[in-house]
Chains A and B, each alone.
Chain A
Amino acid sequence: MLRDITLGQYYQTESVIHRLDPRVKLAGTLLYIISLFLFENIAGYIVAALFLALVIGLSHVPFKFMVRGMKAILFLLLITVLFNLFLTPGEALVSLWKLTITREGLHNAVFMALRLCYLIIGSSVMTLTTTPNHLTDGMEKGLRPLKFFRVPVHEVAMIMSIALRFIPILLEETDKIMKAQIARGADFESGNLIKRAKAMVPLLVPLFISAFRRANDLAMAMEARCYHGGEGRTKMKPLVYRRRDRLAYLCILLYLGCKATVGILL
């Protein structure tokens, strides 16, 4: 049940997308998300969908894994759609009792939902094809210019990589503790809100304790290996752009061009 959360979970396989430099993927995802919010029209969304489909095809990750990430935001999606559908003023299409669906509302709801879906799937592609370590490596190197403004880039990257690394571990731990408490007769599923919140105590206390214990162990292990921040630290596999990365940048630019042209012209 808890395994449905795909964000931050790497899918191991061999593909061009997996081999790309993480900086390309980060920049690509960012640009893609921005592009979703610019030049909105049907043709633009079709271009965005085609591009996404192409990347998914190249990534060799089964489509179901992308959709898994959607389950987590289904609720958010539903609310967005409903609010847009009923609360946008404009030309009425259907009237049900006090609620009216307007043409603008329908338009907004559909596009908002599409945009959210693309956004989630787009970022899932990145996290599914890039190991957390790679991702933070890319972030660290990509954001290095910010160092001039005294942004602790290395530290932030390290914190992120640890946080990402811990997501699956803590999920597994949650699963285990939950099972252990269910075996002792705990009930996480029935009762009203207050009862359910109370039922979480036997889950949360051990979980926090275990998280602190792990954090402590990790800190100790890092110190034992003489970790002292980013200063003078070298990489075993430094990131270098290769031909395929330049090609990928080109593709992204091409996509942006397409999207803009279609958006402006149609």
Chain B
Amino acid sequence: MKLPRQERNKMALTVEHVSYIYDPDAPLSHKALDDISLTIPEGQFIGVIGHTGSGKSTLMQHLNGLVKATSGHIYYGGRDIDARDYDKKELRSKVGLVFQYPEHQLFEVDVFSDVCFGPKNLGLERGEVERRAREALAKVGVPEELYDQSPFDLSGGQKRRVAIAGVLAMQPEILILDEPTAGLDPKGRREILDQIRQLQTQTHITILLVSHSMDDVAEYVDRIIVMNGGKIVYDDIPRKIFKCYRELEKMGLGAPQVTYILHTLKENGLPVDTDITTIQEAADSIMQALDSFRITGP
């Protein structure tokens, strides 16, 4: 989709017809991304969903200029990020990318200095660097006792938080989280996701949350982008996406547990609203349906 220039300005990020091939010379090369177009307005909380190998991480690395598109363009604030005079470093401070398993990037002697690494690279003065680090660590819920610990002595979930704080401390306008819950136990997942949501409601920062679990994103996001085989197959609000849960299943994805429960209940005669995506709403809907049963009788 080709947008006029002013339109693009209002959008935080615009991706136009981007394709990408890893290693075009290799004997088994294929398109990791195939003609991707999308716009990311300011302040939206977006979930990016796709099966393993669908190109999610590849797309995310395009958004802050780590990978250059084989064809197509990406605009940030209306300017082409691959233009020769474009300051990539500036872009990376505006579009923060937290990698899959970000704890593998920790290297400093203590947690606090590790989080300082990002803002320090922005050339800020010491006081500001430390202020931002403190703020970021607080936002992701790392208690102060841990500041002086070696990052390698933390638990998996704590490491993950520290790594997220490391990117947050750069105060990006868009935060991209590539599978922030991968490899965590259910409690750890919940905690991280809740923290992310809190961050979003408090600061209205634009967030892209990559995941391959519908349950992870369904409750939280405003919009879901479904990827399959390097293409975007759906891009809509959650309840509309989950209507196509049969198609999603074919891509190895499926809908959140609530969708299945509600559909089963409806098939068995309970008049519930099947479009609901969150557990709370589902509970309400089921109670309501049960109440109406009680009044009218089966």
| Inter-chain contact B25/A183, CB cutoff 8 Å | no
| Inter-chain contact B92/A185, CB cutoff 8 Å | yes
Task: Give the chain B neighbours of A179 by CB distance below 8 A.
Answer: 61, 66, 99
| Inter-chain contact B61/A185, CB cutoff 8 Å | no
Instruction: With CB as the reference atom, state the residue of chain A lying closest to B90.
Output: A185
Is B71 an interface residue, CB under 8 A from the partner? no
Please measure, in the bound complex, the distance between the C-alpha atom of A184 and the C-alpha atom of B23, giving whole angstroms: 25
Task: Give the chain A neighbours of B118 by CB distance below 8 A.
Answer: 184-185
| Inter-chain contact B93/A177, CB cutoff 8 Å | no
Q: B73-108: which have CB < 8 Å to A?
A: 89, 92-93, 96-97, 99, 102, 104-107
Task: Give the chain A neighbours of B97 by CB distance below 8 A.
Answer: 183
| Inter-chain contact B102/A205, CB cutoff 8 Å | no
Given contact pairs A64-B25, A176-B99, A181 touches B93 in the complex (Cβ within 8 A) = no
Please measure, in the bound complex, the distance between the C-alpha atom of A12 and the C-alpha atom of B25, giving whole angstroms: 13
- B100-122 toward A: CB 8 Å interface, digit per residue (1/0)? 00101111000000000110111
Given contact pairs A179-B66, A202-B117, A185 touches B122 in the complex (Cβ within 8 A) = yes
| Inter-chain contact A183/B167, CB cutoff 8 Å | yes
| Inter-chain contact A182/B92, CB cutoff 8 Å | yes
Is B166 an interface residue, CB under 8 A from the partner? yes
Given contact pairs A11-B27, A62-B25, A183 touches B121 in the complex (Cβ within 8 A) = no
Q: How many A-B residue pairs have CB under 8 A?
A: 63
Smallest beta-carbon distance A203→chain B, Å: 8
Is B1 an interface residue, CB under 8 A from the partner? no
| Inter-chain contact B167/A177, CB cutoff 8 Å | no
Please measure, in the bound complex, the distance between the C-alpha atom of A181 and the C-alpha atom of B106, giving whole angstroms: 9
| Inter-chain contact B89/A180, CB cutoff 8 Å | no
Is A266 an interface residue, CB under 8 A from the partner? no
Task: Give the chain B neighbours of A176 by CB distance below 8 A.
Answer: 99, 104
| Inter-chain contact B117/A182, CB cutoff 8 Å | no
Chain A, interface residues (CB within 8 Å), range? 20 to 34
Instruction: With CB as the reference atom, state the residue of chain B lying closest to A182.
Output: B66
Smallest beta-carbon distance B157→chain A, Å: 18
Is A13 an interface residue, CB under 8 A from the partner? yes
Given contact pairs A13-B27, A202-B117, A205-B107, A185 touches B102 in the complex (Cβ within 8 A) = no
Task: Give the chain B neighbours of A226 by CB distance below 8 A.
Answer: none
Residue of B105, B120, B121 touching A180 (CB-CB under 8 A):
B105
Smallest beta-carbon distance A213→chain B, Å: 9
Smallest beta-carbon distance A102→chain B, Å: 41
Is A261 an interface residue, CB under 8 A from the partner? no
Task: Give the chain A neighbours of B27 by CB distance below 8 A.
Answer: 11-13
| Inter-chain contact A180/B99, CB cutoff 8 Å | yes
| Inter-chain contact A184/B117, CB cutoff 8 Å | yes
Is B170 an interface residue, CB under 8 A from the partner? yes
Please measure, in the bound complex, the distance between the C-alpha atom of A184 and the C-alpha atom of B122, giving whole angstroms: 9
Given contact pairs A202-B107, A206-B106, A183 touches B23 in the complex (Cβ within 8 A) = no
| Inter-chain contact B107/A201, CB cutoff 8 Å | yes
Is A186 an interface residue, CB under 8 A from the partner? yes
Task: Give the chain A neighbours of B66 by CB distance below 8 A.
Answer: 179, 182-183
Given contact pairs A13-B27, A64-B25, A183 touches B92 in the complex (Cβ within 8 A) = yes
Smallest beta-carbon distance B156→chain A, Å: 13
- A1-43 toward B: CB 8 Å interface, digit per residue (1/0)? 0010000000111000000000000000000000000000000
Given contact pairs A3-B23, A179-B66, A206-B105, A185 touches B93 in the complex (Cβ within 8 A) = yes
Task: Give the chain B neighbours of A13 by CB distance below 8 A.
Answer: 27
Task: Give the chain B neighbours of A177 by CB distance below 8 A.
Answer: 104-105
Is A210 an interface residue, CB under 8 A from the partner? yes
- B60-76 toward A: CB 8 Å interface, digit per residue (1/0)? 01001010000000000
Please measure, in the bound complex, the distance between the C-alpha atom of A11 and the C-alpha atom of B26, giving whole angstroms: 8
Is B295 an interface residue, CB under 8 A from the partner? no
Instruction: With CB as the reference atom, state the residue of chain B lying closest to A205.
Output: B107
| Inter-chain contact A183/B107, CB cutoff 8 Å | no
Please measure, in the bound complex, the distance between the C-alpha atom of A242 and the C-alpha atom of B77, giving whole angstroms: 65
Task: Give the chain B neighbours of A181 by CB distance below 8 A.
Answer: 105
Instruction: With CB as the reference atom, state the residue of chain B lying closest to A173.
Output: B104
Is B147 an interface residue, CB under 8 A from the partner? no
B-to-A contact residues, CB < 8 Å: 23, 25, 27-28, 61, 64, 66, 89, 92-93, 96-97, 99, 102, 104-107, 117-118, 120-122, 152, 166-167, 170
Q: Kindly list 7 other residue pairs between chains A and B, CB separation below 8 angstroms, not including A183-B64, A183-B167, A209-B152.
A: A176-B99, A177-B104, A179-B66, A181-B105, A185-B118, A202-B105, A206-B104
Q: 9 A-B contacts, Cβ less than 8 Å apart?
A: A12-B28, A183-B96, A185-B89, A185-B117, A185-B120, A185-B170, A187-B89, A206-B104, A209-B152
